Amino acid sequence: MDSIDRIRAFNRFYTGHLGLLSRNYLGSGLGLTEVRILHDLDATEPPRARDLALGLGLDEGQVSRVLAGFGRRGWLERRPSEVDARVRDLGLTAAGRQVVAELRAASRAALAEVIPVARAEVVARTLAEAEAALGRGEIALRDLAPGDAGWIIERHGALYAEDEGFDVTFEALVAEILGAFLRQHDPARERGWIAARATLRLGSIFVVAEAPKVAKLRLFLVERSERGTGLAQQMLETALDFARGAGFTSIRLWTHESHRAAGRLYARNGFRLTEAHPVQSFGQDMVTQAWERDL
Amino acid sequence: MDSIDRIRAFNRFYTGHLGLLSRNYLGSGLGLTEVRILHDLDATEPPRARDLALGLGLDEGQVSRVLAGFGRRGWLERRPSEVDARVRDLGLTAAGRQVVAELRAASRAALAEVIPVARAEVVARTLAEAEAALGRGEIALRDLAPGDAGWIIERHGALYAEDEGFDVTFEALVAEILGAFLRQHDPARERGWIAARATLRLGSIFVVAEAPKVAKLRLFLVERSERGTGLAQQMLETALDFARGAGFTSIRLWTHESHRAAGRLYARNGFRLTEAHPVQSFGQDMVTQAWERDL
DNA sequence: GAGAATAACTTGACAGAATCAACTAATCTG
DNA sequence: CAGATTAGTTGATTCTGTCAAGTTATTCTC
């Protein structure tokens, strides 16, 4: 079962599990479409009819009829816009907002019934990550927070096991490096960043001191999904800027020959290959490289 | 925004994003309901009409009509069951299976179009975890695999930060403990387990040697969602059995007074509180406890 | 600035989906 | 064996979604 099949399996499971397709939505007498439109209408900046159709993937005619229905029921006011007379400004009435509030409460109650309270937290966390994985939200570079170090270790362990066949001693090394860093480091000269989209972590990069004037780049990792997007370049620049500002005059890093894309990134950013020799580590034969550049 | 609201937000996002409500499903001329029924029919053990209605949350009349339609198109054979003449045995014809195969291919293609290849992997991974979080799949206790150590560190870091206000030095400690364990331990006498539902990890427990005859229980963690389900008891028993089999004659553990439920679990399992004194650690004032029992 | 093109929305016609209820036939229960 | 239950079908009705045509206002083009 490949990734696409897994996603399809989830879709079937989820639609079934939550009854997303239910007609008479939560006994309100409204259809799912009406509920979705109502929800969109209840925003600080109410949308135009056209936006509703586009945003929800509906026929404009249908939206028009639904809105007319809301008007008839006294939930919605529609008056010609003063800026553009083709457009009708939409605004929920107090009664309309009341209906939305009731629907929201009913929806919450229905969900709470299907999902045990204790589970809601994990479910929300994993779904939020899935949402971010689907590309929702902006990527930000931030400082380390509790839990991040573990994630860095997990992803180094998992990705290097898949890509290079490394055994768990590599994960052990990463754990020890990070343990030592967290326990003690000079915040003025040493720092780690996490790239994340909402709660979904996408990459890590660290600058540590190797010598008074020589910095070292470590634990530079970017998830496969974000490779080739320019994120790695942005992270590298952030790290180099910090190292420069912290008074280092040069920076070094160690990597493996098999990381071709990483090598190209370093070369493009002024690093020179200064060392390369075969080693046997983490259960695999490979060629380690040292790269260096002035700051 | 609490967990339930987050889940509701995901539902809105997801239904919109994947166009789950698409009518004329993938240009096949079939509706979503027909497609769902067809998919369910294509199983090794074909369901009865009744099961379809129940399983998909549909009206029995509607299912009957849809099945009749499939029969008319030559996709489905319906003959009275020999066991129970009220029931009609359902079986897709070769043509029917062909239709299902084409639909599956079309669905895969449509998904692949919406989700960039590079992203499919993370999306599948996070959705699989969400599915497990929703309670799908059995819980299993297994040995450590790459990535597990990082997860243990992350969850210790995150949960203790939330529950006890610990700072990152606690995460550092866990990282160092695990780094050392992974790098070197005696597999006959020391062992770690992960409790997981599919790919979603739910807890961890370790047995290590403190002295030749004295074992130590460490890194015992259960996600909030699984507390009170008997999982912790099962994990503890597994660990105690192992320690007994490995020749230890007693076992110790350290915990904090604030972990009331854990304390009750230990007491219920024959542990005695042997030590308790106030300490200042990880940025918090607390009372550490030592517990012990014979094996 | 006139005429064409486009945009925002409405309306009509119609096929298909979902719902409710009534119905047949077989089987189970006590 | 009478009555209840189960599996499935059929009919009437309402609602949804879709396609196409229409109205009015605005913008574009030469």
Query: pLDDT tens-digit profile of B186-220?
Result: 999 999 999 999 999 999 999 999 999 999 999 99
Summarised one tens digit per residue, pLDDT across range A154-208 is 899 899 998 888 888 888 889 889 888 988 899 999 999 999 999 999 999 999 9
Task: Using a CB–CB cutoff of 8 Å, tell me whether A5 touches chain B.
Answer: yes
Q: Does B35 touch chain A (CB under 8 A)?
A: no
* CA separation, residue A75 to residues A95, A206, B168 (Å): 5, 55, 51
Tokens of B278: 């106030």
**What pLDDT is stored for residue A24 in this prediction?**
58
Lowest mean pLDDT among A7-11, B13-17, B20-24, B169-173: B20-24
Report CA dihedral (B95, B99, B101, B106) to the nearest 10 degrees.
160
- The stretch B241-253 carries a mean pLDDT of 96
CA nearest to nucleotide D11 C1': residue:
B61
Total-model pTM: 0.85
At residue B217's C-alpha, the angle toward residues B214 and B220, to 5°, is 180
pLDDT at B210: 94
Residue-by-residue pLDDT tens, chain A, 295 positions: 789 999 988 988 888 777 655 555 666 778 888 988 999 999 888 899 999 988 888 899 999 999 999 999 999 999 888 888 889 999 999 999 999 999 888 888 888 888 888 889 999 999 999 999 998 889 999 999 888 988 999 899 899 998 888 888 888 889 889 888 988 899 999 999 999 999 999 999 999 999 999 999 999 999 999 999 999 999 999 999 999 999 999 999 999 998 999 999 999 999 999 999 998 888 888 899 999 999 8
Contacts of A56 (CB under 8 A, 6+ apart): A33, A36, A37, A40, A63, B16
- The reply to whether B15 has its C-beta less than 7 Å from any atom of strand D is no
pLDDT for the residue numbered B167: 86
Interface test with B, best of A11, A12, A18, A21 (most B CBs within 10 A): A21
Asked if residue B24 has pLDDT above 60, the reply is no
Query: Does B6 contact chain A (CB < 8 Å)?
Result: yes
Interval B26-44: pLDDT, tens? 667 788 889 989 999 999 8
Q: What is the DSSP string of A70-100?
A: HHHTTSEEEEE-SS-TTSEEEEE-HHHHHHH
Question: With contact defined as beta carbons under 8 Å apart, do A76 and A64 qualify?
Answer: no
pLDDT above 70 coverage of chain B, percent:
97
Given a cut of 50, whether residue B21 has pLDDT beyond it is no
Question: What is the distance in angstroms measured between the alpha-carbon CA of A109 and the sugar C1' of C15?
Answer: 36
What is the b/e burial string over B101-127, where b = at least 16 CB atoms within 10 angstroms of the residue's CB? eebbeebeebbeeebeeebbbbbbbbb
What Å value separates CA A16 and C1' D6? 24
DSSP B27: G
In order, the DSSP letters of chain A are --HHHHHHHHHHHHHHHHTTT-SSGGGSS--HHHHHHHHHHSSSSPPPHHHHHHHHT--HHHHHHHHHHHHHTTSEEEEE-SS-TTSEEEEE-HHHHHHHHHHHHHHHHHHHHHS-HHHHHHHHHHHHHHHHHTT-S-EEEEE--TTHHHHHHHHHHHHHHHHH---HHHHHHHHHHHHHHHHS--TTT-EEEEEEETTEEEEEEEEEEEETTEEEEEEEEE-GGGTTTTHHHHHHHHHHHHHHHTT-SEEEEEEETT-HHHHHHHHHTT-EEEEEEEEEETTEEEEEEEEEEE-
pLDDT score at B164: 86
Asked if A105 has any chain B CB less than 8 Å from its own CB, the reply is no
Q: What is the pLDDT of residue A56?
A: 87
Nearest CA in chain B to A282: B183
pLDDT at residue B22 is higher than 70: no
The residue-averaged pLDDT of B43-53 equals 90
